[in-house]
Amino acid sequence: MAATHSTATAATRRCREITMNTQKLIDTAGALVADDKGLLAMDESNPTCNKRFAKLGIPQSEQARRAYRELIVTTSGLGESISGAILYDETIRQQKKDGTPIVKVITDAGIIPGIKVDTGAKDMAGHPGEKITEGLDGLRERLKEYFQMGARFAKWRAVIAVGAGIPSRGCIEANAQALARYAALCQEAGVVPVVEPEVLMDGEHTLERCNEVTEEVLRTVFNQLSIQRVMLEGMILKPNMVLPGLTCPKQEAVDEVADATVRCLLRVVPAAVPGIAFLSGGQSAELASARLNAMNVRSKSRPPWALAFSFARAIQATSFGNLARQGGQRVGGTASSKLPSQVQPGCAPW
């Protein structure tokens, strides 16, 4: 009798915990896309960050990367436009020069800390020209650690190339399943998954082709999310916009891109998803912002989800350009100085 009672009590407690965790996930996902704010992706891997530094003559060191990230997170007023910041593993463990943990700096600014958890897109066996994103091994343990460090959302990016004969079903399905397994593990850990299936802009494909591929990819992703029992209310979708390839001779106007994107998403993204935060994917800051703005302005009947941003290059490119003109000296070596307001990352485009 006593055993039955304690089993029932444990089950009730577990049930209450699940309900509380579910509500927390929903609250966090909602907060990430509330008040017209969006996400700042500052989670470039060390090799990518180093490549950008090399072009500016900035030393490719842990200290320089820390200094650059400190410049970003100490931008005054950052929390007025940014709801969440996606960090790289190195950054989430770093401190400001004065010893304050970067996570605390972010949280004090009213910004939710997030973490990139995939380990990169690798060549896919048997699929020339296509990639599969890795990082599921050990992910449960890594998520536990990141949660303890303060991360409340995560990111996993799958890349889908468009070209002759690609993307293949094999590539789309493998990436969609990995995204869904990642998302389920995130929710188990109390972390909101940002699900990022990126159809790349490289190539001369048309907007229509991008639309076709994006629709197929998103349908597959949502099918897998359902199979893996991911709670849609507790996630964010991070897709590409529906665009012509970078070298396509026909480049549609801002409004056409905005309309095509919203039309595509309305067909495939369930209304239970609280927010869609676009990647910039190599668009200029101006174009990415103008297209997102047009989507919000032109949607006649309000779409069921918030339409926001989760830009990396479209936010940071302006400041990188300014840094290049200054020879990068603000980051190289003298880490304590802040960028002047006109070149601060937070002053970018919206």
Residues in touch with ligand 13P (CB under 6 A)? 41, 157, 196, 279-281, 310-314
Three-state SS string over the chain comes to CHHHHHHHHHHHHHHHHHHHHHHHHHHHHHHHCCCCCEEEECCCCHHHHHHHHHHHCCCCCHHHHHHHHHHHHCCCCHHHHEEEEEECHHHHCCECCCCCEHHHHHHHCCCEEEEECCCCEEECCCCCCCEEECCCCCHHHHHHHHHHHCCCEEEEEEEECCECCECCHHHHHHHHHHHHHHHHHHHHCCCEEEEEEEECCCCCCCHHHHHHHHHHHHHHHHHHHHHCCCCHHHCEECCCCCCCCCCCCCCCCHHHHHHHHHHHHHHHCCCCCCEEEECCCCCCHHHHHHHHHHHHHHCCCCCCCEEEEEECHHHHHHHHHHHHHCCCCCCCCCCCCCCCHHHCHHHCCC
Least separation, in Å, of the C-beta of 311 and ligand 13P? 4
Whose Cβ is closer to ligand 13P: residue 167's or residue 281's?
A: 281
Choosing from 44, 70, 196, 252, the catalytic residue is 196
Least separation, in Å, of the C-beta of 158 and ligand 13P? 10
Whose Cβ is closer to ligand 13P: residue 69's or residue 313's?
A: 313
Is 238 assigned a catalytic role?
yes
Choosing from 96, 131, 155, 238, the catalytic residue is 238
Least separation, in Å, of the C-beta of 10 and ligand 13P? 41
Is 300 assigned a catalytic role?
no
Whose Cβ is closer to ligand 13P: residue 207's or residue 314's?
A: 314
Whose Cβ is closer to ligand 13P: residue 152's or residue 157's?
A: 157
Least separation, in Å, of the C-beta of 310 and ligand 13P? 6
Active site residues: 196, 238
